[in-house]
Amino acid sequence: MRITRKSPAALLAVAALAAAPLAATVLPSAASTPDPVAVAARPAEGSTNVTVDGHRIILGDARATMGSAEIRQRSGIANLDPVRFPAPTSAVVVGYTTGTPDRSTAEVDVRALVRDQWSEWTPAKPGTPTALPGASDQVQLRIIVSAPPQGAKPWVADVTVQPTDQADPSRMAIQAAPLRSRVFATREGLVGGTTANGHVIVNRDHFVALPSRRGLANKGSGNYSVKVCTTTGTIRCAFEPVWDVGPWNTKDDYWNPSATREMWKDLPQGKPEAQAAYQNGYNGGKDQFGRTVANPAGIDLADGTFWDALGLSNNAWVDATYLWTGDGGRGTVSISSGYLNVRSTPSSSGAVVGMAGKAAQVPVECQTTGQSVSGSQGTSNVWLRVHAGMYVAKAWVSAGSFGAC
Show which of 306, 325, 344 is a domain's final residue.
Answer: 325
Confidence of residue 31 (pLDDT cuts 50, 70, 90): very low
Same domain as 241, residue 298 = yes
Asked if residue 152 and residue 8 are part of one domain, the reply reads: yes
pLDDT at 172: 63
| Calpha distance 212→322 (Å, rounded) | 13
Is the pLDDT higher at 65 or at 295? 295
Q: Same structural domain for residues 134 and 25?
A: yes
Whether residues 185 and 257 fall in one domain: yes
Does some domain include residue 321?
Answer: yes
For residue range 197-212, what is the model confidence (pLDDT) as tens digits?
999 999 999 999 999 9
Question: For residue 404, is it within any domain?
Answer: no
Q: Count structural domains, the chain.
A: 3
Q: Are 377 and 335 in contact (CB under 8 A)?
A: no
Same domain, 232 and 290: yes
The answer to whether residue 169 is domain-embedded is: no
Task: Give the chain's radius of gyration (CA, Å).
Answer: 21
Does residue 134 or residue 255 have the better pLDDT?
255
**pLDDT higher than threshold 50 for residue 28:** no
pLDDT at 78: 97
| pLDDT > 70? residue 3 | no
Both 26 and 110 in a single domain?
yes
Residue 126 pLDDT greater than 60, yes or no: yes
User: Do 197 and 345 have their domain in common?
Assistant: no
Same domain, 136 and 202: no
CATH number at residue 295: 2.40.40.10
Residue 171: pLDDT band (50, 70, 90) is low
> What is the span of the domain harbouring residue 306?
180-325
Q: Specify the CATH number for the domain of residue 15.
A: 2.60.120
Residue 403 belongs to some domain of the structure = no
Asked whether the beta carbons of 34 and 28 are under 8 A apart, the reply is yes
For residue 248, being part of any structural domain is answered with yes
- Cβ contact 335:219 at 8 Å: no
CA distance 273 to 356: 28
Instruction: Give the residues across from 7 on adjacent strands.
Output: none
The larger pLDDT score, comparing residue 92 to residue 73, is at 92
285 in the same domain as 227 = yes
What are φ and ψ of residue 34, in 5° steps?
-60, 150
Are 16 and 112 contained in the same domain? yes
Q: Which of 33-37, 155-159, 306-310, 390-394 has the lowest mean pLDDT?
A: 33-37
Domain C-terminal end among 310, 325, 340? 325
Residue 174 domain-assigned (yes or no): no
pLDDT of residue 27: 47
Q: Tell me what pLDDT residue 69 has.
A: 54
Q: Is residue 253 part of a domain?
A: yes
How far from 233 is each of 230, 310, 342, CA to CA, in Å? 8, 11, 17
DSSP 3-state assignment of 210?
Answer: strand
Banded pLDDT at 115 (limits 50, 70, 90): confident
Residue 187, strand partner residues: 301
Residue 391 maps to which CATH number? 2.30.30
Q: 299, 325, 351: which is the final residue of a domain?
A: 325
Is residue 84 pLDDT above 90, yes or no?
A: yes
Q: What is the mean pLDDT of the chain?
A: 89
Query: Could you tell me where the DSSP H helices lie in 254-295?
Result: 273-280
- Same domain flag for 28 and 102: yes
Asked if residue 53 and residue 147 are part of one domain, the reply reads: yes
The pLDDT assigned to 21 comes to: 39
- At residue 265, does pLDDT exceed 90? yes
Question: Would residue 172 count as lying in a domain?
Answer: no
